[in-house]
A and B are shown apart, each in its own frame.
Chain A
Amino acid sequence: MTIRVPVVEKIMSANDRIASQNRARLDNARIYSMNLMASPGGGKTSLIELTIKNLAELLRLAVIDGDVATSIDADRAASAGAVAVQINTGGECHLDAVMLQSALRQIELDEIDLLIVENVGNLICPASFKLGTHKNVLISSIPEGDDKPYKYPGMYRGVDALVINKIDLLPYVPFDMDYFRRGVEVLNPGLLTFPLSCSTQEGLDSWISWVLQQTQSNRII
């Protein structure tokens, strides 16, 4: 005889459980953490480099870099002055909570104030896998086009801040900022945004001050 057993369990709950353990470890060590997501070429590594260079004298930084292969990004973060750990996902298109858990074991957590996790360049999968970081940040860049919120709603819905990178290219690329922002507003009302350019460093100051302020208030609490 067949019996129906009610389950009603979120399918991502196993990952979510480990994500909350990661958060607890980070909180115990008083580390403020952010998960940076973007499509390939969106400017994750460049923004991380600039963030390290601007904050290295004020904060102790670590970067965990997720990539399908190579350690190019972790090398760039290390030469900018951060403790850097590379995770090669070996084909997986995102980081998950288990990968972050093992990367955290490679860092002296008590010696870090700010942890930046660079997710794999992808606008779909990373949105489904919580890592346990305090903030999820998306970098969108002008050449990607103004329709990205409409095409990747899951990603735009789940983030706490949005960096709009490469604004120096606005005069050269068809990009309707109103259309873009309308999509963002529907999916994530009132989302904090940082329009900036990693090349010209226009707008970078407000991003840096925000990261600094978030990290410092985390240390005081």
Chain B
Amino acid sequence: MHELPVTQNVLEIALRHGKAANASRIMSINIVIGELASIVDDSIQFYWDIISSDTIAEGAKLNFNRINAEFECKVCGERYKLQGNELVCPDCGSLQIDIVAGKEFFLESIDVE
């Protein structure tokens, strides 16, 4: 559980960019979370409601865009998603794989007034 410091970072980034855009209110915050990022979006929402009060981001809607983990086999080029526990290439059994998606964790944009 480290969602509190994570949420504080979200607030800091959002307020900084909101200020730079001369916003009077931040309406929504769009966050991209990969499946492998170990972040629970419900917990972020919980902390958000507490720490955003009395800021221009108070009441802002948090939108989470979840990205599924995706792998690419370096040997046969097979692209695949997580299947149970096994991470090896389902096509050729190779261990040499690239994680092509799922590590993302960034604040993509804010909607301001």
Contact = CB atoms under 8 A, between A and B. Distances in A.
Interface in A1-47: 1-15
B95 A11 contact: no
Interface of A: 1-15, 92-94, 96, 124-125, 127-129, 147, 150-151, 153-154, 157, 182-183, 185-187, 189
A14 B8 CA distance: 10
B38 A7 contact: no
Interface string B7-48: 001101110011011010001000100001110000000000
A5 to B, nearest CB: 5
A185 B95 contact: yes
Contacts of B108: 6-8
B66 to A, nearest CB: 14
Looking at chain B's contact residues, is the secondary structure mostly helix, strand, loop, or mixed? Answer: mixed
B88 A186 contact: yes
A85 B58 CA distance: 39
A155 B9 CA distance: 21
Contact of A7 (B2, B96, B107): B107
Contacts of B31: 11
B70 to A, nearest CB: 13
B3 to A, nearest CB: 10
B105 A124 contact: no
A8 B96 contact: no
Given A14-B9, A189-B95, A5 B21 contact: yes
A189 to B, nearest CB: 6
5 closest cross-chain pairs (CB), A and B: A186-B87, A125-B2, A150-B85, A185-B95, A5-B21
A103 to B, nearest CB: 17
Given A7-B13, A11-B31, A127 B38 contact: yes
B73 to A, nearest CB: 10
Contacts of A92: 2, 5
Contacts of A187: 87
A189 B99 CA distance: 12
